[in-house]
């Protein structure tokens, strides 16, 4: 049976301004940027529900980058999405952007996905980050993964340059004050065969919406399979409630390179139940992240914005002179 093609979007977006490299940037010709070690590789997912956020995120990356022409974007899309329409949508707003689309066939991961406390977390594309090492070409050794519900207000090169040391596979913002126990069920903690996975690890919650990833180490360690194994256990005995995050914690918590909190001021969308308005965490910020149920574009359309949604709105490329299908 032929796959059903799902239209990505009927929304129209304005063309963004063109951004230029600073004089200090290395010159990378387009035919070589895909496999260039000097290029900065960014991976994101794009779908119909989040494309407006994705377009704002792309704009924020380019606007604050000192070397925007040296960034290669890798967009993961559903295998049933209309790739031609999506490619045209991105190209019309960013004519000078170097990007590739990677259809994600979720047939292998779909049987492993358990229902979570918020339906948006159950989308198979939400799990595509687990498969980055196999989806992207093997010549790409390091990638910066970004969620679609965020904006950057600093140069992404500073974040991408974080060193992973001799052994770490990824870097992300860690929150050791969070109640780590709450991310797993009593079934998990009462079973020593499972809970001992955190023995000798100073395991802390970290957010997977902004990650620096060493794809070579990921491939060598077969970490996709390690995450899938925990998902298989979850299907049998319900050890967590929160979608794709807990398997990452089970495999990596306590073994990541911690990133300064300014690179992921997350939780601006409230929690997983309510679209609450949240204040920034104390201190400076370089990434504003609307993780949680509330998304800034939805609150703006509903005319119930939170104060910080106005910052996101300054990157919104939606062309309201066109009617669009919601």
Three-class secondary structure assignment of 133-151 = HHHCCCCCCEEEEECCCEE
| pLDDT-derived band at 30, boundaries 50, 70, 90 | confident
Cα-only R_g, the chain: 19
pLDDT attached to residue 140: 97
Check whether domain 33-314 has CATH 3.90.380.10, yes or no? no
CB 240, CB 186: distance < 8 Å = no
pLDDT attached to residue 118: 61
pLDDT attached to residue 136: 97
Nearest-CA neighbor of 49 among 267, 305, 293?
293
CB 257, CB 170: distance < 8 Å = yes
In the chain, domain spans: 33-314
pLDDT attached to residue 120: 61
Q: DSSP secondary-structure letter at 198? A: G
Distance between first and last Cα of the chain: 28
Q: DSSP secondary-structure letter at 81? A: B
pLDDT attached to residue 2: 40
pLDDT attached to residue 10: 61
| pLDDT tens digits, one per residue of 112-147 | 888 765 666 678 999 999 999 999 999 999 999 999
Rounded average pLDDT over 41-64: 96
| pLDDT-derived band at 6, boundaries 50, 70, 90 | very low
Q: Indicate the Cα dihedral angle 212, 216, 222, 224, nearest 10°.
A: 40
d(CA 183, CA 242): 7
pLDDT attached to residue 117: 59
pLDDT attached to residue 260: 96
- Residue 12, pLDDT > 80, answer yes
288 in helix, strand or coil?
strand
- Residue 5, pLDDT > 50, answer no
Nearest-CA neighbor of 45 among 114, 109, 119, 135?
135
Structure-model confidence comparison of residues 275 and 149, the more confident one: 149
- Residue 247, pLDDT > 60, answer yes
Give the percent of the chain with pLDDT over 70.
93
Q: What is the pTM of this model?
A: 0.92
- Residues β-bridged to residue 43: 74, 145
Residue 247 has which token pair?
């398997």
| pLDDT-derived band at 160, boundaries 50, 70, 90 | very high
Mean pLDDT value across the chain = 91
| pLDDT-derived band at 326, boundaries 50, 70, 90 | very low
Q: How far is CA 86 from the centre of its chain?
A: 18
| pLDDT tens digits, one per residue of 84-110 | 999 999 999 999 999 999 999 988 898
| pLDDT tens digits, one per residue of 209-218 | 999 999 999 9
């Amino acid at each position: 049976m032929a796959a059903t093609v799902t239209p990505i979007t009927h929304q129209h977006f304005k063309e963004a301004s063109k951004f230029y490299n600073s004089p200090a940037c290395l010159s990378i010709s387009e035919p070589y940027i895909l496999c260039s070690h000097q290029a900065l590789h960014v991976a994101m997912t794009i779908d119909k529900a989040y494309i407006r956020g994705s377009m704002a995120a792309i704009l924020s990356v380019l606007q604050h980058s000192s070397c925007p022409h040296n960034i290669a974007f890798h967009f993961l899309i559903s295998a049933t999405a209309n790739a031609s329409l999506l490619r045209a949508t991105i190209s019309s707003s960013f004519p000078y952007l170097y990007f590739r689309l990677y259809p994600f066939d979720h047939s292998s991961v779909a049987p492993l996905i358990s229902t979570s406390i918020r339906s948006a977390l159950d989308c198979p594309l939400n799990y595509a980050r687990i498969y980055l090492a196999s989806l992207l070409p093997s010549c790409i050794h390091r990638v910066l993964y970004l969620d679609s519900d965020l904006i950057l207000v600093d140069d992404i090169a500073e974040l991408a340059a974080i060193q992973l040391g001799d052994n770490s596979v990824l870097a992300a913002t860690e929150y050791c004050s969070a109640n780590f126990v709450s991310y797993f069920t009593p079934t998990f903690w009462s079973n020593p065969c499972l809970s001992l996975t955190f023995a000798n690890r100073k395991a802390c919650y970290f957010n997977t919406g902004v990650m620096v990833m060493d794809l070579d180490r990921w491939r060598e360690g077969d970490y996709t399979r390690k995450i899938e194994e925990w998902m298989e256990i979850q299907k049998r005995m319900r050890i967590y409630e929160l979608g794709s995050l807990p398997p990452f914690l089970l495999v990596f918590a306590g073994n990541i390179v911690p990133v300064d909190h300014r690179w992921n001021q997350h939780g601006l969308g409230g929690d997983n139940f309510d679209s609450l308005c949240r204040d920034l965490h104390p201190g400076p910020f370089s990434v504003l992240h609307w993780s949680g149920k509330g998304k800034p574009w939805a609150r703006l359309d509903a005319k119930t914005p939170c104060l910080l949604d106005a910052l996101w709105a300054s990157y919104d490329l939606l062309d309201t002179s066109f009617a669009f299908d919601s």
